Amino acid sequence: MKKILVTRKLLKENEDRIKKLFDVKLNEQDKVYSSDELIELSKDCDGILCIGGNKFDSYVFEKLSKSVKIIASYSVGYNNIDINLATKNGIIVTNTPEVLTDSTAEIAILTLLGAARRAYEGRQMAESQKWTWACNFLLGKEMSNAKLGILGMGRIGRAIAKRAKAFGMEIHYHNRTKLSTAMEEGAIYHDNIKSLFNNSEFLSINCPATKETTHLINENSIKYLPNEAVVSNTARGDIIDDLAMIKALKSEKIFALGLDVYNGEPKIHPEYLKLNNVFVLPHLGSATLKTRVAMGNRSIDNLENFFNNKKPKDRLN
């Protein structure tokens, strides 16, 4: 029976299943393993089910046991894994697309709404029990009939567009490639971010984290947005240059920012926490029972297929 290291604690449904299929090392304490612990614990394993927090970089791949043949990532994003080094070391990498599309799209809408309608300030006022209604009390911005720019029109971006249409929003997008007319469903394509941002009263960030997208939202590109735009990031934290965004929030160039992801998680730039126009969540995009069970099962499916000499559905290399 093949031996698998699981780097974080899974939900019971997933642990029960994986124990039936493999000789498995579970992380009962749900500890975030250091690179050295990861290397040591996996030295007699055939595969790793990786759940966040662990970087598979040159240090790890240099020392990782040659017995490890697959890393099944419990996520859509895989920027914590150096795919080129994995390939060089003969290790297959998989992820879990599709199953968290709807839950992440819901969080994107929540962060846009929460930021635009000043939900954080509203909660503060409600807790103070000292607020008084007035015509100008906590005036926000309506999403209805506004222009929504989507940066990254993959599965999640398209799911956000579908939901945004219920608000009567006009959808604009930038993607590495233009979608087919059928997939666009009326969305307007822009071949550069300047053009997209010019047409984004609301902006949803949904592109992958790559070297090219690091700090794509910066002091220069923020200038392309209309004054008092609302921005949401449910992709990866390093797409935003924090210092530039904080400056734009303070100057009110950006009306409000919704974040489900940010640099240095769980730490966050302290200036964000001083601003009332930041609506922030602790990376809840996939946090529903249905989605997390599906992610676990998708990871296990990939492991099972690989060791049964079938091509994993979600192979990345």
Q: Residue 289: its pLDDT value, please? A: 98
> pLDDT (tens digit, 0 to 9) for every residue of the chain, 317 residues total?
999 999 999 999 999 999 999 999 999 999 999 999 999 999 999 999 999 778 999 999 999 999 999 999 999 888 899 999 999 999 999 999 999 999 999 999 999 999 999 999 999 999 999 999 999 999 999 999 999 999 999 999 999 999 999 999 999 999 999 999 999 999 999 999 999 999 999 999 999 888 899 999 999 999 999 999 999 999 999 999 999 999 999 999 999 999 999 999 999 999 999 999 999 999 999 999 999 999 999 999 999 999 999 999 999 99
Burial of residue 305 (CB within 10 Å: 0-12, 13-18, 19+) is: middle
Reduce the DSSP state of residue 214 to 3 states and report it. Answer: coil
Neighbours of 198 (CB within 10 A): 15
Reduce the DSSP state of residue 149 to 3 states and report it. Answer: strand
The fold of the 101-280 domain, in CATH, is: Rossmann fold (3.40.50)
Q: Residue 79: its pLDDT value, please? A: 85
Fold match between domain 3-99+289-307 and domain 101-280 = yes
Q: Residue 210: its pLDDT value, please? A: 86
Minimal CA–CA distance to 99: which of 117, 118, 63, 74?
74
> Can you give the residue ranges of every domain in the chain?
3-99+289-307, 101-280
Strands (DSSP E) contained in the chain are 3-6, 23-25, 47-50, 70-73, 92-94, 147-151, 170-174, 188-189, 202-205, 229-233, 254-259, 278-280
Q: Residue 264: its pLDDT value, please? A: 92
Q: Residue 99: its pLDDT value, please? A: 95
CA 178 vs CA 94, 149, 190, 205, 210: distances in Å: 26, 14, 8, 17, 19
Architecture of domain 3-99+289-307: 3-Layer(aba) Sandwich (3.40)
Q: Residue 113: its pLDDT value, please? A: 98
CA 59 vs CA 54, 55, 155, 287: distances in Å: 12, 9, 33, 31
Q: Which residues are catalytic?
A: 236, 265, 283
Question: What is the amino acid identity at position 126?
Answer: A
Between the CA atoms of 202, 206, 208 and 211, what dihedral angle is there, to the nearest 10 degrees? 10
CA distance 20 to 50: 19
Is the Cβ–Cβ distance between 78 and 95 less than 8 Å?
yes
Reduce the DSSP state of residue 108 to 3 states and report it. Answer: helix
